[in-house]
Amino acid sequence: MSLLDRDMAARVIRTALSRGGEFAELFAERRSGYNLRLEEGKVEENTSGWETGAGIRVICGESVAYAYTNDLSLASLEETARAAAAAAKAGRSTAVGLEKPLRLLPRREDHPVRLDIDAFPRERKVELLHRADQAAREAGSRIVQVVVALGDARQEVFIANSLGEVVTDLRVRVRMVVQAVAAHEGEIQTGHESPGILGGYELFQEFPPEEVGRAAALQALTMLEARPAPSGPMAVVIANGTGGVLFHEACGHGLEADAVYKRASVFAGRLGEKVASPLVNAFDDATLVNRWGSFAYDDEGVRARRTPLIQEGVLVGYINDRKRAMRDGTEPTGNGRRQSYRHVPIPRMSNTYIEAGRDRGEDIIADTELGLYARKLGGGEVNPVTGDFIFAVTEGYMIRGGKVAEPVKGATLIGNGPRVLLDIDAVGGDLDFDTGMCGKEGQAVPVCTGQPTLRVRELVVGGTTEVV
């Protein structure tokens, strides 16, 4: 059954535009979720929840008014629409498409769910956590703590707008996050793994919980042996998979059309220019089947697509939402996303990655005399205006004489997004992805970051010792 009635939606949209505005939209959702968390070998969190809500948006020039409520009754939606309407400046109204009944766009089944979350019993979900926990603990006696979190969610959305379109979509997601803590002689190190899927519990066929737990534990154990990282500029080889977070943070956010419009981006006004090494091809692609950051329609009802961002080092595209597409006179790229009905959609990445190149990952290391091998990156931060960034290397090694040498801890990568793109001098063929929750303007949405193994000619490594 649909969340809302189409005629009712049309009425609410007309109310939202009653005081002016060029575009109005009603986004309603029904979401249910189940979250488990295990720590100290015990399931200590066991939470289920469900919520319904609707957000109404009016766009008037560059202004956006938004109002939301948990109550989906017509009276409540009308009141919410009036609150959004009141914020619009009285003026031009182009309520096109509302004379006829709203047109329902085809429901898409791009991302099949093979083991549905509601059909998968609670006992088996609990068992997955124990399996990951046990495998992590068996990886070594220095593993002192393991935290396993498992979350599943079902989100049904109904999106109607003043263009006369209605989209309904169902997103089912499952993700497990394992954190392992290793300790020895007062030293503490952590390791993380976080497989996720736009799909169901078939996730664990590809990522058995034992392997996830063990990988997190091994990372923590390795870093326990690590020496303090050196500081200073050096060649940095960034491993495939999690390394993609660097491109996501240091470049991807600068390709979001709202940042470009505000010129809070080093890539503003640079379409068609060379911004990266000719080895670099980059995309945002929400159509990758069952990827954590994928969807069939974005949160504005625009069909998902694959958007080229950089081709052979030349900047070829930005990602946008409906508002920026309308205002900038461009096509919507299907990147209007929001955390929930409580949030205004804004341009967001989906699965963003640097495409595979020609080199072999191991050859890139073999070709590096002295440098840092960043096997895993943690979080980072970027100043969007300057492109300056900092990233924590959560698993790092020195490269000496073309070989991966001793592990190093406490390293950070400090640099500048555009400069790093130009300084990439080798790109491997081993593209891999990692899952994340991307935060922007207080909203978290699921994304994938991806990249093959690549080398940056020189980056400043922030560590605590001299290079020896």
Partner 1 sequence: MEPYADLGTQLEEWVERGRALVGAGAELELYAQEHRGLTVRVFRGEVESLRYAHSRGVGVRVLREGRLGYAYCTGFDWRDCSRAVEEAAANARFSAPDEHNLLPSPADRSPGDLGIYDPEVEETASREKVELALRLEDLTISLDPRVRRVETAVYADGVSVVAVANSLGVSGTYRSSDCHCYVFPIAEDGEESQTGFSFDQGVKPSDLDLERVAREAAERALCLLGSRSMPSRRTTVVLDNMVAAEFMGMLAAALSAEAVLKGRSFLAGKQGEQVASSLVTVVDDGLLPGGPSTAPFDDEGVPSRRKELIRDGVLTGYLHNMYTASRSGTESTGNATRSSFRERPGVGATNLFLCAGKGAREELVRGVDDGVLILQVVGAHAGANPVSGEISLGALGLRIKNGEPEQPLREITLAGKALEFLRQTVAVGEDLRFLPFEGSLGAPTVVVEGVMVSGRG
Q: What is the DSSP letter of 265?
A: S
Among 17, 84, 198, 354, binds partner 1 (CB under 8 A): 84
User: How many CA atoms lie within 13 Å of 108's alpha carbon, on the beta-carbon side?
Assistant: 19
Q: How far is CA 240 from the centre of its chain?
A: 17
Residue matched to tokens 């009635």? 5
Q: Does 64 bind partner 1 (CB under 8 A)?
A: yes
Token digits of residue 360: 């072999």
Q: Does 411 bind partner 1 (CB under 8 A)?
A: yes
Among 1, 40, 99, 272, binds partner 1 (CB under 8 A): 40
Q: What is the DSSP letter of 274?
A: B
Q: Which residues in 325-364 contact partner 1 (CB under 8 A)? A: 342, 344
Among 8, 87, 170, 316, binds partner 1 (CB under 8 A): 87
Q: Does 170 bind partner 1 (CB under 8 A)?
A: no
Q: Are β-strands 351-354 and 443-451 bridged in parallel, bridged antiparallel, or unpaired?
A: parallel
| Residues contacting partner 1: total by CB under 8 A | 76
Residue closer to partner 1 by CB (options 58, 172) is 58
The rounded distance, in Å, linking the Cα atoms of 338 and 322 is: 13
Q: Does 412 bind partner 1 (CB under 8 A)?
A: yes
The rounded distance, in Å, linking the Cα atoms of 42 and 358 is: 46
Among 13, 135, 150, 181, binds partner 1 (CB under 8 A): 181
Residue closer to partner 1 by CB (options 95, 146) is 146
Task: State the angle between helix axes of 209-224 and 122-138 in degrees (0 to 180), rounded to the nearest 10.
Answer: 30
Q: Does 463 bind partner 1 (CB under 8 A)?
A: yes
Sequential DSSP letters for 55-75:
EEEEEETTEEEEEEES--SHH
Among 416, 435, 449, 453, binds partner 1 (CB under 8 A): 416
Q: Which of 170, 147, 120, 197 is nearest to 36 (CA)?
A: 147
Instruction: Quote the least distance from Cβ 96 to partner 1, whole Å.
Output: 23
Instruction: Quote the least distance from Cβ 180 to partner 1, whole Å.
Output: 11
Q: Does 52 bind partner 1 (CB under 8 A)?
A: yes
Of the candidate spans 33-41, 94-102, 203-211, 420-428, the one that interacts with partner 1 by CB under 8 A turns out to be 33-41
Among 21, 53, 241, 418, binds partner 1 (CB under 8 A): 53
Of the candidate spans 204-212, 286-294, 305-313, 405-413, the one that interacts with partner 1 by CB under 8 A turns out to be 405-413
115 exposure class (CB count in 10 Å sphere: 0-12, 13-18, 19+): middle
The rounded distance, in Å, linking the Cα atoms of 258 and 254 is: 9
| Helix ranges restricted to H, 73-225 | 74-87, 122-138, 203-206, 209-224
Residue closer to partner 1 by CB (options 126, 326) is 126
Instruction: Quote the least distance from Cβ 252 to partner 1, whole Å.
Output: 17
Residue matched to tokens 């000719």? 278
Q: Which residues in 99-158 contact partner 1 (CB under 8 A)? A: 122-123, 126, 144-145, 147
> Which H helix or E strand runs over 422?
helix 417-422
Instruction: Quote the least distance from Cβ 445 to partner 1, whole Å.
Output: 17
Residue closer to partner 1 by CB (options 64, 356) is 64
